[in-house]
Every structure is written in C-alpha cells, then in structure tokens.
C-alpha cells in the first residue's frame, strides 16, 4: 500500500516547485473563501454553520491537497489538474463565477456555474444564478434582448421570495438601464433578514449600492451603506467609505488603490466607518431674499436654485405669505378686474396660493430627505404640512385597504410584486414623519399595525412568503417599541417564528404565528 502522507522530499526540484505553487494556490483560494464567509458582522447573530455535505466536500479537497504530491510522484499530473479544476468548480463555484465567468462576460457560463455550485446556493436557485448572469450582462457593452429575455425567463415567479430574488430583479433592472428601479430593489434588500441570501449576494448588493452612490456623488449614502450592520467588511466597501471621509473634490481613488482593494489581503479596519464622523459636505447655496419683499422678489426666490434646506423653505413660505396678504396687490388686481370686465380677485389669489402650497409640499419632501425637520409659523407652510400629512395618511390607508382586500380574497401577487407592494407601503409610511419625534408616526402606526400584522401572518401561513412576512414584522417591531404598543409582544414573537432556519430541521415547521 502506498502511504497517504506526502513524500515531498522524494520529489524532484522542478516538481517540488510545481507542487508548492499548487499548494499555495489551493491555500489562497481556501483562505480567501473562508475569510469572506466569516466577514459578516457578529451582531447579526448569524452563525455560519456549514452543512454536512459541504464539510464532506471540504474533506475531499483537503485529501486532494495532501494527496497531490503522491499523485505527482506517480506522475498523474493530468489527473491532478483535472481534480483541481473539478474541486474549484465544486467547492468554489462562486469564486470561479466571480473571477472568471463575470469578467469574461459570459452570462450562460456564470449561470451554469452558480447553478451547479454546491450547498451555498441550494436555496437560491435559480435566483442566484440569474443574478450572476445579469451581472455579466451589465458588464457587456450592450446586452442583447435575447440574452436579457433568456435571463428573465429563468426566474420562477411562483417561488417564495428570498433576498436573492430581489438581487436578481435588481440586476436585471440595471441591465435594462432602469437604475432607479435597481437602486430601489437593492436598498430594499436591507430590510430583509441576513440569512435569506448567501453572502455573495449581500456583497453584490452592498458594492452595487456603494458604487452607484459614489457615481451620483452621494457620499453620505456611501458611508451609510458601508456602515450598515449587514454590510460585509470587504476592502472595496472600506475603500469607498474611506473616500467618503475625504474632502470634497478629492473623492476619486486611483486605479492602483482600486486594484489593491480587490485583493484579499487587506484587513478590515472598521474604525473610520463606525466612528460616526459626519461626511464632509460641500458648500451649499442659500436662499437670498431682499427685503422689503415684492411680488418680483417672491417669484425670483421661487426660481432660485438654492439647496433644499429647512431655513430656505421657511423664508420662502413667509415671503409668499406676505405677498398673498398684500393689500396693494389685491387693489391692483381689483383695478385690473374692473378693466377686464370681470374676473374674481379671490379666485385668482386662491389659485396662486394652491400652486405655491403644492410646491411647498414637494419641497418639504426634499428637506425631510436631507434629514432636517420642518417647522415654522408660516400659515402656508403649516397648511402644506397639514395637506401633505393628510395626503400621505390617506394614501397609507388606501394601500392598507388594498392589502386587506387581497388578504380577504386570498389573492397573493407573484413574490416580487408582493415585495414591491410592501416597499411602496413602506415608502409612504416613512415619508409621513420627520426625523424627530412626531405624533404623525404614532398615528400612522396605530392606523396600520394590526392590519399589517394580519397581512404578514397570512403571507407566512397561507402563501409561504416567510421572508416578506419576517421583513414586515421586523419593520413593525421598532415602531411598536417606540409607540409603547400593546402589540409589541406579538410582533416580537412573530418576527422570531417567521424565520425558517434551513440548517436546523427541528425548526423547519415553526409554531403558528399570531395574527
């Protein structure tokens, strides 16, 4: 019997070199893979337990690793290379996809490799492979319609949603040039549980978002994305976060920096991201209104390209308040009305007021997006806030009523559409309140909490959409905490129960949720 232990010393020097290179390559790949998998932050609570089969595969790999010199000694070099290739494909399919198929822009190869690849993608087929294929297509100069259609057709609409599903749709949207749709879907992945997609999908999501934000110049968003608790601590994100901390105008990395960031050697330095230092912002343009205020001045101010700030908004609203109450203007209009032989001054001023108020409502949206609050004594501003609130609450109620109706009729949408419906609902809800404490938030929560809970229970129990249901519960939980709601306990329980842990068979059928 030949010994299994390698007889390295018995090898010829050239062969020793080859074996050394071979060992180094396998070691690098192994280390790289392990490091990426362990880079998820610990406070997600995700335990990276490997499935049994994967462990077996790794054992075979290790055996091959140590058996290599034996084979070299016996001069079965061809077999060794073949085994190497097979191991690579079997154990590191994503690595092969990411570093070979995608750069070569071969979508069908990327799809096949990912689909073939082991336990990692077991629960995410065909979504993961489609995301990989779409990634290839997005790197092509111009993706053909046939290839895009082929990729779309691989998705199965009836499968329950996972984060990979969202990633796949997002990448397809990016291929079609619908970047805002892609951004919206990738951002929505952050609402999902970390376990609902393999790590490579999360990395894809965060890197896409961060590079997209950098392309738009939204460096605060880059920082936010890199600091997210689900974000993998990979060098690319760290580099981008680092760039966000630099002064404006110096936020472009060189090719060398980019190349180095893509190597697996840089250790994660979490300090800059987690330090909480604010992203330096460029100088902003403020609104300038000359006093005393005139109609021309108000019109000029309305066309001024000042940045949307709370202070500018207040000034603008107060300016229009004074114009709309101006007696001189009213008298002038009355004279003109007489000259025209008709025309109601009140009607004209009311129409003007409505125009301004509608615009102020949109401006409030922009200011709130910048995480500022809006307040003031201006009647126009108060009226705009009030009508905005009313509109959003009505919209929220309508959306909720539609969800109720579908639940009552037992009509579910395809998974991705169901998710998009929830996203639209979520968007409306989060638009309602300002960043600070606001009773609007409590009102909105009270309006929808129980019904949304029931809807999520229906999704989980009847439609097997556990991932969406879990996202809904996790959305409602902090809101319930904030409002001291009596439904906190139920939501918390539902959130825990709606996760299906694939590795623990005993918990595959959790106890029923409370609706």
* Contacts of another protein in 172-201 (CB under 8 A): 173-174, 176-181
Residue with tokens 């997210």: 228
Phi and psi angles of residue 86, each rounded to the nearest 5 degrees, phi first: -65, -45
R_g of the chain, CA atoms, integer Å: 29
Pick from 61, 112, 199, 287 the residue near another protein by CB under 8 A.
Answer: 287
Residue 290 engages another protein in binding (rule: CB under 8 A): no
Enumerate residues 217-246 that contact another protein by CB under 8 A: 217, 219, 236, 240, 243
Question: Exactly one of 93, 308, 431, 432 binds another protein (CB under 8 A); which one?
Answer: 308
46 vs 184 by CB, closer to another protein: 184
Q: Is 515 in the site for another protein (CB under 8 A)?
A: yes
Whether the bond into 497 is cis, omega within 30 of 0: no
Which of 112, 457 has the CB closer to another protein? 457
The values of phi and psi at residue 48, to 5°, are -90, 65
**CA 49 to CA 120: how far, in whole Å?**
11
C-beta separation of 451 from 399 below 8 A: no
Helical H segments across 104-190, by residue range: 107-116, 127-139, 145-154, 163-175, 179-189
Q: Under rule CB under 8 A, which residues in 38-77 are in contact with another protein?
A: none
Residue 341 binds another protein (CB under 8 A): yes
Q: Quick one: which of 131, 151, 190, 360 contacts another protein (CB under 8 A)?
A: 360
Stretch that binds another protein, among 48-56, 268-276, 329-337, 470-478 (CB under 8 A): 329-337
Q: 155-186 b/e with 16+ CB inside 10 Å = b?
A: beeebbbbbbbbbbbbbbbbbbeeeebbbbbb
Q: Examine residue 333 and tell whether it contacts another protein (CB under 8 A).
A: yes
Q: Residue 194 has what DSSP assignment?
A: G
Judged by CB under 8 A, does residue 109 bind another protein?
A: no
Among 1, 4, 42, 255, binds another protein (CB under 8 A): 255
435 near another protein, judged by CB under 8 A = no
- Per residue in 353-363, is it b (16+ CB within 10 Å) or e — as a string? beebbeebbeb
Binding segment toward another protein, per CB under 8 A, in 20-28, 270-278, 283-291, 461-469: 283-291
d(CA 392, CA 365): 11
| Site membership for another protein, residue 416 (CB under 8 A) | yes
Stretches 58-66, 74-82, 106-114, 204-212: which one binds another protein (CB under 8 A)? Answer: 204-212
CB of 97 within 8 A of CB of 113?
Answer: yes
Q: Which residues of 474-483 are buried (b: 16+ CB within 10 A; e: fewer)?
A: bbbbebbeeb
CB-nearer residue toward another protein: 19 or 240: 240
490: contact with another protein by CB under 8 A? yes
Closest CB to another protein among 145 and 271?
145
> Which residue of 486, 504, 509, 511 would you call a contact of another protein, by CB under 8 A?
486
Q: What is the largest distance, in Å, between two alpha-carbon atoms of the chain?
A: 116
Among 2, 146, 291, 305, binds another protein (CB under 8 A): 305
Among the listed residues 417, 430, 481, 496, the single contact to another protein using CB under 8 A: 417
Give the span between the Cα atoms of 225 and 230, in whole angstroms. Answer: 9
Residue 494 CB-half CA count within 13 A: 31
The answer to whether 321 contacts another protein (rule: CB under 8 A) is no
Span near another protein by CB under 8 A; candidates 77-85, 107-115, 119-127, 484-492: 484-492
The interface region with another protein, picked from 43-51, 71-79, 451-459, 468-476 by CB under 8 A, is: 451-459
Asked whether position 303 contacts another protein by CB under 8 A, the answer is yes
Verify binding: residue 512, another protein, rule CB under 8 A.
no
* Interface residue with another protein, options 164, 314, 453, 500 (CB under 8 A): 453
Q: Is the dihedral of CA 323, 326, 330, 332 positive or negative?
A: negative
């Amino acid at each position: 019997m030949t010994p299994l232990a390698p007889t390295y010393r018995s090898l010829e020097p050239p062969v020793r070199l080859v074996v050394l290179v071979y060992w180094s390559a396998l070691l690098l790949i192994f280390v790289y893979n392990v490091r990426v998998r362990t880079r998820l932050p610990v406070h997600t609570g995700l335990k990276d337990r490997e499935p049994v089969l994967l462990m077996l595969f790794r054992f075979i790999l290790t055996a091959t690793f140590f058996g290599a010199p034996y084979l070299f000694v016996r001069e079965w070099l061809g077999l060794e290379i073949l085994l190497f290739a097979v191991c690579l494909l079997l154990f590191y399919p994503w690595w092969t996809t990411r570093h070979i198929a995608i750069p070569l822009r071969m979508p069908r190869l990327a799809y096949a490799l990912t689909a073939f690849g082991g336990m990692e993608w077991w629960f995410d087929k065909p979504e993961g492979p489609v995301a990989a294929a779409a990634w290839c297509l997005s790197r092509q100069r111009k993706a053909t319609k046939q290839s895009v259609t082929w990729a779309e057709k691989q998705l199965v609409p009836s499968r329950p949603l996972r984060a990979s599903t969202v990633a796949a749709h997002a990448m397809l949207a990016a291929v079609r040039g619908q970047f805002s749709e892609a951004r919206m879907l990738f951002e929505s992945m952050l609402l999902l549980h970390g376990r609902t997609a393999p790590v490579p999908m999360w990395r894809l999501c965060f890197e896409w978002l961060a590079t997209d934000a950098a392309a738009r110049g939204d460096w605060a968003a880059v920082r936010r994305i890199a600091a997210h608790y689900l974000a993998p601590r990979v060098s690319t994100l760290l580099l981008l976060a680092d760039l966000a901390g630099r002064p404006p105008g110096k936020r472009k990395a060189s090719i060398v920096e980019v190349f180095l960031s893509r190597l697996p050697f840089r250790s994660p330095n979490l300090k800059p991201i987690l330090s909480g230092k604010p992203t330096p912002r460029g100088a902003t343009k403020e609104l300038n209104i000359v006093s005393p205020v005139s109609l021309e001045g108000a019109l000029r101010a309305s066309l001024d390209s000042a940045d949307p700030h709370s202070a500018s908004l207040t000034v603008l609203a107060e300016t229009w308040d004074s114009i709309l109450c101006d007696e001189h203007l009213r008298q002038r209009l009355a004279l003109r009305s007489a000259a025209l032989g008709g025309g109601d001054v009140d009607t004209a001023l009311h129409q003007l007021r409505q125009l301004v108020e509608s615009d102020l409502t949109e401006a409030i949206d922009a200011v709130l997006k910048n995480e500022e609050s809006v307040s003031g004594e201006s009647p126009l501003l108060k009226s705009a806030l009030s009508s905005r609130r009313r509109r959003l609450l009505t919209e929220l109620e309508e959306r909720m009523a539609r969800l109720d109706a579908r639940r009552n009729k037992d009509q579910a949408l395809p998974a991705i559409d169901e998710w998009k419906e929830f996203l639209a609902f979520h968007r409306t809800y989060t638009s309602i309140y300002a960043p600070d404490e606001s009773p609007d938030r409590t009102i909105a929560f009270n309006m929808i909490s129980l019904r949304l809970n029931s809807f999520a229970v229906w999704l989980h129990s009847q439609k097997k959409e556990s991932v969406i249901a879990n996202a809904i519960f996790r959305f409602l939980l902090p809101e319930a905490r904030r409002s001291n709601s009596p439904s906190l306990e139920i939501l918390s329980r539902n959130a825990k129960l709606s996760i299906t842990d694939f590795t623990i068979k005993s918990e595959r059928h959790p106890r029923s949720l409370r609706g």
